[in-house]
Amino acid sequence: MEAFAKLGLSAWLIEQCKQLGICKPSPVQESCIPAILEGRDCMGCAKTGSGKTAAFVLPILQKLSEDPFGIFCLVITPTRELAYQIAEQFRVLGKPLGLKDCIVVGGMDMIAQALELARKPHIVIATPGRLADHIRSSNTFSIKKIRFLVLDEADRLLEQGCTDFTQDLQVILSAVPAQRQTLLFSATLTDTLQELKSIAMNKPFFWESTSEVRTVEQLDQRYVLVPEKVKDAYLVHLIQKFQDEHEDWSIMIFTNTCKNCQVLNMMLREFNFPSVALHSMMKQKQRFAALAKFKSSIYKILIATDVAARGLDIPSVQVVINHNTPGLPKIYIHRVGRTARAGRKGLAITLVTQYDIHLVNAVEEQINMKLQEYSVKESEVLKILTHVNVTRRECEIKLECTDFDEKKEINKRKQLILEGKDPVLEAKRKAELEKIKKQKKKFKEHIQESIQQKHDAQIRRKLKKKFLRQEKKAAKSQQ
């Protein structure tokens, strides 16, 4: 524990770490904690599962204990589940302080949150959308005096992915004081470095792990080349094999859409696998319940969309299966980082179809290492192929009979309204864009066709000339 003391942490915090089994600081903690204690802004880019959360929680708690007031610190994170996880770290490590925290996330009661915020908690942990809503609609609390602003998974908060946080982040940034310490952490900071530097204004201390490979050493990274139509049979086979060969096992499966996640979960249950789904079309209470049951090993398989790709710390996960190859290497890095955490071993298997090979190349280039092939007995997979495909189709039909698609449409409309857009106008705009797209496609096809025709005509002319020459030659030789 001496190593923690050398970083400048107080004895009571070191004791709390000890109780959690944290005895020696990880490299990101060793570098960032002293800088934060010195009062510097900090950007920490360290591999998944390397203890970035404690790297900011510990120095913040120490500063809070020296001058306690609320609201002292605001932590922003992209998903609701992560907000709860971070709050738990603050609670456990900050127990001797009698810490008051408040979690502000979507899908939960807004009035209860507003009341809690008004009671001036020491730490507020929030997702951007809901906190921005509170700032816009309420004057019962203020974040004007916070000392610390933390952006966890900072690069995700800034990118304009399927959920765009940038507008909400602007609202939040304009409500916090300029005089503050800003701490930014992620396993993949480098793509958005310049934007992040402008948020951490005071020449931030920047720490990045020096290792060339961007994933952890203890992670065995594999791929299986599978034809698209056989993918589910491979998935079922891999799970069955893992279940047969291990007593204590736990798998996270990532897939690309909520619907696919739902169908796959239904399908795996038909095969009697203990699986549970987690995606953004589920009600928040269901999401928390699913995660809790997976964490406590009631369910051994969590099948999720990328809502679970970042940050979740579930030490028991031994295997990650990518049912689809992620379109972006950084998503791959976060997904596979759900296993092999804090020095443990882990296995990641990516199912790669004929259409995804370029994506694997991009991943390999980013992580700086080659994925190895995972060998699978094809004959075993073929035995279950028809059964799996029929079961999947049955599940799809079952899902079509529910209001899943309808709910998706309603959710989309709600989101548009929240973003201040008119759903009817948006639908019209989308239809027009589709029309233009179709016209463009038709035009392109037409051009390609005429190029092809010209090309064919040229070849025909050349061949004709060639035949004529050959005929002439033959006629001459006969004379």
Ligand X SMILES: Nc1ncnc2c1ncn2[C@@H]1O[C@H](COP(=O)(O)OP(=O)(O)OP(=O)(O)O)[C@@H](O)[C@H]1O
Instruction: Find the residue with minimal CB distance to ligand X.
Output: 51
Applying CB under 6 A, among 341, 367, 371, 388 the residue interacting with ligand X is 341
What does the buried/exposed string (b/e) look like for 225-245 if buried means 16 or more CB atoms within 10 Å of the residue's CB? bbeeebbbbbbbbbbeebbee
Helices (H) then strands (E): counts for the chain: 18, 14
Contact set for ligand X, span 26-45 (CB under 6 A): 26, 29
Please list, in sequence order, all residues whose beta carbon lies within 8 angstroms of the beta carbon of residue 3, skipping any fewer than 6 positions away: 24, 25, 30
Distance CA 219, CA 225 (A): 19
Question: Which CB, 288 or 404, lies closer to ligand X?
Answer: 288
CB of 315 to ligand X, least distance (A): 6
Give me the DSSP letters along 190-246. Answer: GGGHHHHHHHS-S--EEEE---SSSS-TTEEEEEEE--GGGHHHHHHHHHHHHHHH-
Peptide bond before 71: cis, by omega within 30 degrees of 0?
yes
Q: Binding pattern to ligand X, positions 140-179, x when CB under 6 A? A: ----------------------------------------
What residues form DSSP beta bridges with 250? Answer: none
φ and ψ at 301, to 5 degrees? Answer: -125, 130
Per CB under 6 A, does 53 bind ligand X?
A: yes
**Total interface residues for ligand X by CB under 6 A:** 21
Applying CB under 6 A, among 7, 13, 16, 25 the residue interacting with ligand X is 25
Distance CA 142, CA 372 (A): 52
Per CB under 6 A, does 50 bind ligand X?
A: yes
Per CB under 6 A, does 309 bind ligand X?
A: no
CB of 212 to ligand X, least distance (A): 18
Per CB under 6 A, does 231 bind ligand X?
A: no
Please list, in sequence order, all residues whose beta carbon lies within 8 angstroms of the beta carbon of residue 180, skipping any fewer than 6 positions away: 146, 147, 148, 149
Residue 88 in contact with residue 36, Cβ under 8 Å? no
CB of 81 to ligand X, least distance (A): 12
Question: Which CB, 16 or 262, lies closer to ligand X?
Answer: 16
From the list 49-57, 194-202, 242-250, 366-374, the region that binds ligand X by CB under 6 A is 49-57
Per CB under 6 A, does 330 bind ligand X?
A: no
From the list 70-78, 317-325, 336-344, 358-366, the region that binds ligand X by CB under 6 A is 336-344
Q: List interacting residues with ligand X (CB under 6 A).
A: 20, 22, 24-26, 29, 46, 48-54, 187, 311, 313, 315, 337, 341-342
